[in-house]
Amino acid sequence: MAEVKSNKELFNVSVSPHIRSEESVSKIMWTVNLTLAPAALFGVYHFGLNALMIILLGIVSAVFFEWAVEIIRKKPITVKDGSAFLTGLLLAMCLPPTLPAWMAIVGSFIAIVVAKHAMGGIGSNIFNPAHIGRAALMVSWPVAMTTWSKMTTSVPDVVSSATPLNILKQQGYDALISTFGSASNMYQAMFLGNRSGSIGETCTVLLVLGGLFLIYKKYINWQVPVVMIGTVGILTWIFGPAGFLTGDPLFHMMAGGLIIGAFFMATDMVTIPITIKGQIIFAFGAGVLTTLIRLKGGYPEGVCYAILLMNCLTPLIDRFCQPKKFGVRG
Amino acid sequence: MMKSFRGGVHPNDRKSYTANKPIETAPLPNKAIIPVRQHIGAPCSPIVAKGDLVKKGQLIATTDAFVSGNVHASISGKVIDVGEYPHPGLGTCLAIVIENDGQDEWAEGIPLKRDWQSLDADSINKIIREAGIVGMGGATFPTHVKMTVPKEKTAEAFILNAAECEPYLTADHRLMLEESARIVTGVKIAMKALGVTKGYVGIEDNKPDAIEVMKKAFEGTGVEVMGLPTKYPQGAEKMLIKVITGKEVPSGGLPLDVGVVVQNVGTAVAISDAVTQGIPLIQRVTTISGKAIKEPKNILVRVGTTFREAIDFCGGFASTPEKILSGGPMMGMAEPHIDLPIIKGVSGILALAEGEANTGKQSPCIRCGRCINACPMGLNPSMFSLLGEKNLFEEAVEDFSLLDCVECGSCVYACPAKRNIVQYVKYSKAQNAAKKAAKK
C-alpha cells in the first residue's frame, strides 16, 4: 500500500456542501444598481446637470467612505460588491434636484459611516442607510430639502415649483387637478415621471420595470411592493378628501417616493424581516404609516419615515414570524 | 405533476460523466483494509488475529450489540495486521488487513441457494443482521434495526429510495438498469419481512430510463414505481416520504412513526444477495467521478479496496484535484488523502478539480432569506451560522430547532454570502452535545 502523503500534499477538507450556486452578494447588489439606472438617468434628463452632480457625488462619496471606514476598521475592502454604490445611488435618487450637491456627501457620510458601519457593517445595520442619510439631511437643511425647481422639460410652472403631494397638502385635490389641467393629464405625468419630485422617484414606469426585473430574478418578493402600494392605495381611497371612499388611490400610489420606496427600500433584505410572512407585515405597516403621515402628518410625504419606523420593528416581527417547521402540526 | 416538498435547490446534476457507463468490476486489492466500524452504532470486535487465514465472506469482526453491523472478509488470504488505519469517516479506526492470496475463495457454505419465500420475518432479519447489511446510501444505519418494527408501531408501506439526488452519483441508477431482478427480489423480501403489501419506488425524473426499466421489472408486484420531481434533497428520507405518501415524519421522529420503512437501492441488492445466496455485504457499486478523474466510471468494488486503487482503475487523475470526496458533493465528506479504504457506505468517490468545488469566501449574512427558502426542514439556517459564530449553541437548539437540521447543505448552496452554515451546524451540535454530557 502506498504511504500516506506528506502534509503538503493533503487535500482541502472543508465541510460539505462542496458545490455552491453562482449567486453572490455583489451579483445581487450590482443587479439592483442596474435596475435603478434607467430611473436615475431619466432624473438627469428631466432635472438637468445638478441632478447628475448629486448622483455622482452621492455614489463616489459613499464608495469612498466605505473604503475609508474599512481601512480604519481593518476589515476586508468590499467596495467592489456594489452595496456602497447602491446606498449612494439610492440616497441621491431620494434627494431634491436643486439641493446643493455637496450636501449629498454629508448624506453619504451619515448613511455609510453612521447608519451602516457604526452598526456593524453590511448585514448588521438596522435602518436603511440611504433613508437615514436622507432623514439626516432633512433635519439639517429642511429648506433646501423641500425646495423644488423648474425642470428642463416643459411643464406648467406651477407643477414644477412644488411636488404634487405638496400641492395636495397645501391647496387641496381640486387645485392639484387644475395644475395638471385634467385628471388624465395628471395620471399620465405621474406615470411617465413628468412632474416635480426627488431625482429618481418621479418615473413610475421605469421604476416598476426595474422592480419587476428584481422580482423575476427573485431578488425581491413581489408581495412587498404589492402590499405596501396596495395598502396606501386602499387607505387613501377610503379616507378621501370629501369623506369616505372619495380618495384618489391612483394618484397616491404613484406620488412621492412610494414606488421607489416600495420596490427598492422596503425590499432591502438587510433591514426587513427575513420570512415572507414577516415581510408582508412589514409592507402593510409601512403602507399604513405612509398614509397616516400623508393624510394626517405635518409632511406631505411619509415613505422615508414609514420605512425607517418599520425597520425598528423588524427584529420583533422576525421573532414572531419564523418559518413553519417540517413535521410539526398546526 | 407530482406534488413536491417545500424548499430544496437545483444544483447541476453532473451525472452525464457516468450515467451511461455500465458497471465495471474493479480488480481485487492486494491488501484489503477492513475497518471494524463501517456503520452507525457499536463497533465490532475482531474475531481473527494476525496470521490467520480467512476466506471471502468469512465473519472477521462482530459484536452482541443490536445496533451494529457485522464485518466480513472481502477477499481470501492472510490477516497481516489488526491495527489503527485511516478511515474515510472517522479519521482512523481499528481495521483488519488481509493480504490477497489471489484465490478469491468463498468461505464454507457460501454461496448457497435459499428459497426466501419460505422464510418468516424473524429469520429474514436474522440473515440481514448476520450479513452485516447497512444503509448503502451513505448513512450506514444497520438495516436489520430499521427492519425490526417495535411492538408499539406498525409498518404500512415500504419505500425503495432510488432518488439518487446527489449530483455526480450514478451507482443506483446503473444498478436499476443492470440489476433490476435483484432489486425486485430485495424489495419483495423487505416487504415480506415488514409484513406490508404497499410498496413504492421513488426515482427522480432525471432518470427516465431507470423509471422505465423499474416499471417493467415491478409489473404485477403491486409495487408502484414513481417518477419524482428532480430537486435536491429528494432522496432525504423525510422528503421522499412526504412526496410519496403525503405524510410528514414528526420532528424528532422516525419514518416508522408514519408507518414507513425506507431502504436504498444498493441495500435492496445486498438484501437479495444475503437472503437468496447467503452472501454477506463485502462489495458495493460506487461512482468514481469528478473533473479531476481521467475516466469516470461506476465500479463494483470489494470493501477494503483503497480510494487510490479505485482511482487508478479509472485512469488516475486528469489534473490535481482540489478536493477528494467520499459520497456526493452536497453531503459527502472531504478526505485529506486517498489512502483510505472503501467501506460499505461509500456511494461515490469524487475528485473535484480546481474551480469545480466552489468554496467561495464567507462574508457577512445579508439576511436575504434564500437559506430559509431552500431549507426542506422549514428552519431558519441563517440563525445557525450567526449563533454558531457567537457560540450560542443552546439558543440555536431551543429557539431555532437546530437538532431538526439534516445537514443537507441546501442553505449553503443557495447562500450568496457563501456562509458555511453546515459547518456551524455540525460544530454547534457537537458543542451542545458536549455541554449536555458535561451537565450529567
Confirm whether A270 is domain-assigned: yes
What phi, psi does A184 have (nearest 5°)? -70, -35
Measured CA to CA in angstroms, residue A216 lies from A27, A35, A207, A219 at distances of 15, 12, 14, 8
Q: CB–CB of A123 and B357 under 8 A?
A: no
Q: Which chain A residues touch B330 with a CB distance below 8 Å?
A: 16-19
C-alpha cell of residue A268: 432591502
Domain boundaries, chain B: 29-100, 116-277, 283-353, 370-439
Contacting residues for A15 by C-beta, under 8 A, at least 6 apart: B334, B420, B422, B423, B426
pLDDT at B65 > cutoff 50: yes
pLDDT, position A153: 53
Q: What tens digit of pLDDT does each residue of A259-270 get?
A: 999 999 999 999
CB contact under 8 A, B376 and A275: no
Chain B CA closest to residue A9: B337
| CATH fold for the domain made of B283-353 | Ubiquitin-like (UB roll) (3.10.20)
Does residue B333 sit at the A interface (CB-CB below 8 Å)? Answer: yes
Flag whether pLDDT at B277 surpasses 90: yes
What's the fold here for domain B29-100?
OB fold (Dihydrolipoamide Acetyltransferase, E2P) (2.40.50)
In angstroms, what separates the C-alpha of A6 from chain B's closest C-alpha? 10
Domain C-terminal end among A111, A130, A145 = A145
**Contact call for B369 and A275, based on CB within 8 A:** yes
Structural domains counted in chain A: 2
Measured between CA atoms, the residue of chain A closest to residue B351 is A11
Residue B287's pLDDT is what? 98
Percentage of chain B modeled with pLDDT above 90: 95
The x, y and z cell numbers of residue B30, run together, are 492486494
At A57, list the grid cell.
457625488
Residue that finishes a domain, picked among A145, A161, A179: A145
Give B265 to chain A, closest Cα distance, Å: 23
- Taking CA–CA distances from A269, the nearest residue in chain B reads B368
Q: Is the pLDDT of residue B360 over 90?
A: no
Q: Using the beta-carbon criterion (under 8 Å), do B33 and A3 form an inter-chain contact?
A: no
Is residue A36 domain-resident? yes
CA nearest to A14 within chain B? B334
Q: Is the ipTM of this complex over 0.90?
A: yes
pLDDT value at A87 more than 80: yes
Task: Kindly state whether residues A133 and A238 are assigned to the same domain.
Answer: no
Is residue A17 reached through a cis peptide bond, with omega within 30 degrees of 0 on the bond before it? yes
DSSP B285: E
Q: Which residue, of A145, A164, A180, is where some domain finishes? A: A145
Provide the residue range defining the domain that includes A272: 220-318
From A91, A251, A233, select the one nearest A164 (Cα to Cα).
A251
Helix (H, G, I), strand (E, B) or coil at A160: helix
Per the prediction, chain B carries an average pLDDT of 95
Q: A116-175, pLDDT tens digit by residue?
A: 999 999 999 999 999 999 999 999 999 999 888 655 555 555 455 688 998 898 889 999
Chain B, window 263-322: residues with a beta carbon less than 8 angstroms from a chain A beta carbon: 306, 308, 321-322
pLDDT surpassing 60 at residue A321: yes
Nearest CA in chain A to B409: A17
Q: How is B171-232 classified by DSSP, letter by letter? A: HHHHHHHH-HHHHHHHHHHHHHHHT--EEEEEEETT-HHHHHHHHHHTTTTTEEEEEE---B
Report whether B352 contacts B293 (CB < 8 A). Answer: no
Residue A314 lies in a domain: yes
Tell me: domain B116-277, CATH 3.10.150.10, correct? no
- Is the Cβ pair A17, B366 closer than 8 Å? no
Is some CB atom of chain B closer than 8 A to the CB atom of A19? yes
Give the minimum alpha-carbon distance from A2 to chain B in angstroms, rounded to a whole number.
7
Long-range contact list for A170-173, CB < 8 A, 24+ apart? Answer: A170/A300, A172/A241, A173/A241, A173/A248
Residues 174-213 of B with CB under 8 A from A: none
Interface of A with B in 201-230 (CB under 8 A): none
- A301, part of any domain: yes
CB contact under 8 A, B377 and A325: yes
Q: How many CB pairs under 8 A join A and B?
A: 173
Enumerate residues 116 to 175 of chain B having a beta carbon within 8 A of any beta carbon in chain A: 167
Q: Which three cell numbers mark A158?
A: 406651477
Tell me what pLDDT residue B387 has: 96
- Does the distance separating the beta carbons of A123 and B416 come in below 8 Å? no
Contact call for A20 and B358, based on CB within 8 A:
yes
Q: What's the burial of B237, exposed, middle or buried (CB within 10 Å: 0-12/13-18/19+)?
A: buried
Residue B216 burial class via C-beta count within 10 angstroms: exposed 0-12, middle 13-18, buried 19 and up: exposed
Nearest to B366 among A9, A269, A322 (CB): A269
A250 located within any domain: yes
Residue A171 lies in a domain: no
Q: Is the pLDDT of residue B172 over 80?
A: yes
CA distance A289 to A281: 12
Which three-class secondary structure string do you get for B18-76? CCCCCCEECCCCCEEEEECCCCCCCCCEECCCCCCEECECCEEEECCCCCCCCEECCCC
* Chain B, nearest residue to A24 by Cα: B416
